[in-house]
Structure 1
Amino acid sequence: MSTKQSDSFTQNRFFWTVFGLWPGKIPNKYYKYFSLTYLIITFVTYNALLTINLYYTPPRIDLLIREIVFFFNEIAVAFKVSMVIFKRKKIAAIFDMLDCDEFQGNDDIGREIVRKHNDYYKKYLTSFTLLCNITYFFLVFSPVFTFVIYENTLELPVCKYYFLSDETRNDYIYLIFVYQSFGMYSHMMYNVNIDTFIAGYIILAIAQIKVLQHDLENLKVDKSDDGSGKLLDLKQQQKLRKIIHHYGFILEYCKEFQDVISGPMFVQYGIGSSIICVSICRFLLPATLETYTFTVTYFLSLHMEILAPAWLGTQLKYESHELMTAAYKSEWLPRSERYKRSLKLFVERVKNPIIITGLKMFPLSLPTYISIMKTAYSCFTLIRILQNRQELEART
């Protein structure tokens, strides 16, 4: 394994750099010009046109659903992009924390735990990137295939720009199609590499907690050690101090990480139920096979954006709470009163597990995810009742 855990985020930083978000620790002045120009064209202008389009969209539910899904998703993307741009120094500082000696593991088992969790993150990154690219393929290239093979009308991948006249839209259809396709791909890669980056931070925090559990459970006198009881007690005291220092470093890591992702996660979870609700409604409308395939993959991607941090946040809370059990498994009975007092203070501290929150208003946990899904289903049920009532009135 590389001695730098931050190398696991190489793909994330690469795509941030390509799409104008990450200039590195020492920004190049030419990169600043590129970043500013790129973001104005593909981010600011793109979202402005999307907002204007939503305003001009005809008040029909089959037309509004598609526009609302992309619009809500762009709100979450905007906050994530702002996180990388305005908190770049804090993110770089956390990368440096991951590369410190305290986070590498003290023995072969500890280093193996760290390596496995880095591998878990890389597999998650690969699978989520693949899923999102499949979604993009069905959205963008399916209309192209039907246009070329069956000579159907070329449909725009994102929105129809209802503020344009039909003549203007048809005259510039190819230019608009390329602009929307490229803009959507860059926004998709923002989402992919920021969402996986957040999940990766939590995965590596879980790895450090598990390393700490291993160190606590093996906090015993080595049989090969020689010396008096006081000397052995002193050695154990030094080992315990090292563990406490490691735990303090983990808390600092989680605190900095919490400060970086708090706002974007609040927005992501805040509008998550709305996005999922609208996506479910899309299944009830008639559509082509390509549209249904896109809707399914897009729905899965939305779930992963919310479920992954929730599941990992729950696991982090559980593993940090298990530090108490690991402390009791250590060899503490024959130790001095001073050692026992230090261990008691540590146990009292770990009674409060590590919890990642969204603006300190709700935890990233499975109960929060379940609450979002319940809210989404309730909204979907309400919309369905209103639809049935409108259909019944239209018939009568």
Structure 2
Amino acid sequence: MMPRISRCFKLNFIFLNVFGIWPVNNNGTCYKYYSISFVFISLFVYNLLLTLNLIYAPRKLEILIREVVFYFTEIAVTGKVLMILTKRSDILNVLKILDCKAFQGHGDMSRIIIKRHIAKYKIYWKIYALISNFAYWSQILLPVALHFVFNTTLNLPICKYYFLNVQFIKKYFIYLFIYQSVWMYGHMTYNINIDTLIAGFVIMAITQLRVLNYEFKHFNLSMKNSRNSTRNTELLELKRYLKHYDTILSYCSKIQEILSVSLFVQFGMASGIICVILCGMLLQTSKESLIFMTSYLLAMTLQIFVPAYLGSILSNESEELVFAAYCAKWVPRSKEFKTSINIFLTRANRKISITALKMIPLSLDTFTWIMKTAYSFLTVIRNIQNQQN
């Protein structure tokens, strides 16, 4: 028996539950207070301190670039957390659709396609988590190790809290270091599990479209293999395909509602970070700053590339349905069959597309446009610098 598709997101929701933003039925009242306290400290207080730090930061470009980059990142994280908190019922509805009969696969090959994509998603989650944890512990443990071994200066991991005086920071340095480290890990966990959840929802839509494409392309073969193939059974099989397609459309509409605002914030902040970092690379900076900016630039580029790439695949697979339907050789079939397939073709000619705030489509064209715009902005800044020199 095919396991529930929603089970592939089990780890995502376990971590979101532990970090206070995804209550489950048996959590009770205590979890509610825990969740409120956790979100208040990890988001409201943390971001308030980060805002004050940005306001009081010295007006030097090399310093401001790092502060602005972290601040934009926190805005994106906050947007993702608010999505989980405010769209809980919609997310539960999406999980119910994933577990419906239409999405479980009708034949052996359909189930193989579904299992293969679930396995790929789990690998993607593990890779994302591994890289993120490696980056986090490098940011936290490496400076501590260098401090004890080579007596290097140890700074706070995120920001220096410029609004506090030096004596206060020295006195409570350990507590501030632990505070930033703990909540930095919490925000990293939010990023891992919400980013992969967003990607996973789109991957599951792609999976179902590929199953439907396969079934349409092999419609004639399945009818030949059927012992009692008649016009009525052919029509019933087609209706099953059409119901499957209607469920896919409903699923995509639901994930559009869930992801719209969050993706807009994510794309907007990532684009801003890319522009800021590219400008920072024009400055004469230290090797440490250059390594930081290069790694962060790569991370932000991947953060918008993955959903853009998946969005393009989703649209391509939906367009492929038109060709797949023609493979069913529907011309010599009954009038009812032709009418149904024509209605399907009319709808399938409009590709499925996920958009951020109904303005920015998830596609490689959007990704290319963002990168071109960032490079154009960089060119303008470089020309201004050359004119001043």
Partner of 1:272: 270
| Counterpart code for 2:50 | L
Is the Cα–Cα contact under 8 Å of residues 323 and 350 in structure 1 kept in the other structure? Answer: yes
Residues 311-322 of structure 1: pairs in structure 2 closer than 5 A: 311-322=309-320
CA change 1:330–1:170 in 2 (3 A) is: same
| C-alpha distance in structure 2 between counterparts of 1:132 and 1:226, whole Å | 53
Partner of 1:223: 224
Is the Cα–Cα contact under 8 Å of residues 158 and 180 in structure 1 kept in the other structure? Answer: yes
- For the residue of structure 1 that corresponds to 2:332, the secondary structure is coil
Compute the TM-score of the two structures, normalised by the length of structure 2: 0.95
CA change 1:177–1:382 in 2 (3 A) is: farther
| C-alpha distance in structure 2 between counterparts of 1:240 and 1:163, whole Å | 67
| C-alpha distance in structure 2 between counterparts of 1:128 and 1:186, whole Å | 15
Partner of 1:190: 190
Partner of 2:48: 48
Is the Cα–Cα contact under 8 Å of residues 53 and 161 in structure 1 kept in the other structure? Answer: yes
Is the Cα–Cα contact under 8 Å of residues 223 and 234 in structure 2 kept in the other structure? Answer: no
Is the Cα–Cα contact under 8 Å of residues 72 and 275 in structure 1 kept in the other structure? Answer: yes
**Post-superposition offset of 1:99:** 1.3
Q: Deviations over 1:154-202 (max 9, x none)?
A: 1111010000111111111111111111111111111111111100111
Residues 1-396 of structure 1: pairs in structure 2 closer than 5 A: 3-25=3-25, 27-220=27-220, 222-223=223-224, 225=226, 232-283=230-281, 284-289=283-288, 292-387=290-385, 392=389
Is the Cα–Cα contact under 8 Å of residues 61 and 280 in structure 2 kept in the other structure? Answer: no
CA change 1:273–1:223 in 2 (3 A) is: closer
| Counterpart code for 2:235 | Q
| Farther-moved stretch of structure 1 (249-258 vs 331-340) | 331-340
- For the residue of structure 1 that corresponds to 2:224, the secondary structure is coil
**Post-superposition offset of 1:288:** 4.4
Is the Cα–Cα contact under 8 Å of residues 132 and 297 in structure 1 kept in the other structure? Answer: no
**Post-superposition offset of 1:134:** 2.1
**Post-superposition offset of 1:304:** 1.9
- For the residue of structure 2 that corresponds to 1:134, the secondary structure is helix
| Counterpart code for 1:382 | V
| Counterpart code for 1:315 | I
| Counterpart code for 1:24 | V
Name the Cα RMSD after superposition.
1.8
Q: Deviations over 1:200-233 (max 9, x none)?
A: 1111110000100111112226335566xxx711
Q: Deviations over 1:6-44 (max 9, x none)?
A: 111111111101111111246521101111111111211
**Post-superposition offset of 1:296:** 3.6
**Post-superposition offset of 1:336:** 1.1
CA change 1:234–1:99 in 2 (3 A) is: same
Q: Deviations over 1:58-115 (max 9, x none)?
A: 1100100000000011111111000001111111121121111211111110000001
| C-alpha distance in structure 2 between counterparts of 1:360 and 1:225, whole Å | 44
**Post-superposition offset of 1:294:** 4.3
Is the Cα–Cα contact under 8 Å of residues 113 and 207 in structure 2 kept in the other structure? Answer: yes
| Counterpart code for 2:64 | L
CA change 1:226–1:268 in 2 (3 A) is: closer
CA change 1:385–1:159 in 2 (3 A) is: farther
| Farther-moved stretch of structure 1 (193-202 vs 212-221) | 212-221
- For the residue of structure 2 that corresponds to 1:95, the secondary structure is helix
Is the Cα–Cα contact under 8 Å of residues 87 and 260 in structure 1 kept in the other structure? Answer: yes
Is the Cα–Cα contact under 8 Å of residues 2 and 111 in structure 2 kept in the other structure? Answer: no
**Post-superposition offset of 1:332:** 1.4
Is the Cα–Cα contact under 8 Å of residues 25 and 89 in structure 1 kept in the other structure? Answer: no
**Post-superposition offset of 1:299:** 2.6
**Post-superposition offset of 1:334:** 2.5
| Farther-moved stretch of structure 1 (232-241 vs 325-334) | 325-334
Report runs of 4+ in structure 1 exceeding 6 Å deviation: none
- For the residue of structure 2 that corresponds to 1:334, the secondary structure is coil
| Counterpart code for 1:49 | L
Structure 1: which 5+ runs fail to align?
none
**Post-superposition offset of 1:359:** 1.0
- For the residue of structure 1 that corresponds to 2:379, the secondary structure is helix
- For the residue of structure 2 that corresponds to 1:152, the secondary structure is coil
Compute the TM-score of the two structures, normalised by the length of structure 1: 0.93
| C-alpha distance in structure 1 between counterparts of 2:333 and 2:141, whole Å | 68
| Counterpart code for 1:378 | S
